[in-house]
Amino acid sequence: MTDDEAREKILSAAADLYYSKGYAAVGMDELRAAAGVSLRRLYGQFPSKSDIIKGVLSRAHDSWEQGVTNSVDAAGPEAHDQLIAVFSYLQSWFCADDFRGCAFINAFAELGGTDPEVAALVREHKKTFQQYMAGLVAELGGSELLAAQLAILAEGAQSTAAISGSPVAADQALAAAEVLIAASLRAA
């Protein structure tokens, strides 16, 4: 197995374990066994658990951006449809059998107060999403306030769906997004 293959196996196993059990609950031995690598190889790729967590969050960021962007791109050229596609993406994500909430919110809840690097990664991820929403709203001719409201709505839906164990929060967020968009455009 090459170093790249080992790294990928470790990150994949870590992502699955951390997402299902939590960051603090997973030890290096459990991760090593799930990845099918030796402890020496694990530490050769990632000198610390913090390095693994940063790698997992980097992958989660890329996956999130790809999922949202693909959904928006598939919605067609209309700015309104693209904004609504963000909430449609949430609907499909919340219905996934392995949905356990936002990996970044989970990481911040567990580690944000004790690991400044994790806190910074989470903040950067959320900032990137807010900027993305601002770009979509600007295309629609909406305000910065609308962009912030829609981003907060999407974030709240993620937390609510994870806590409730129900995807219904996506439907509620989608309906609220429609109301906010319509009211904002009327006021403009």
What kind of fold does domain 1-47 have according to CATH? Arc Repressor Mutant, subunit A (1.10.10)
Give residue-wise pLDDT tens across range 83-139: 999 999 999 999 999 999 999 999 999 998 899 999 999 999 999 999 999 999 999
Domain with CATH 1.10.10.60 in the chain: 1-47
pLDDT score of 46 more than 90:
yes
pTM for this structure?
A: 0.91
Cα–Cα distance, 94 to 47 (Å, whole number): 34
What kind of fold does domain 54-187 have according to CATH? Tetracycline Repressor; domain 2 (1.10.357)
Count CA atoms within 13 Å of residue 16 on its CB side: 12
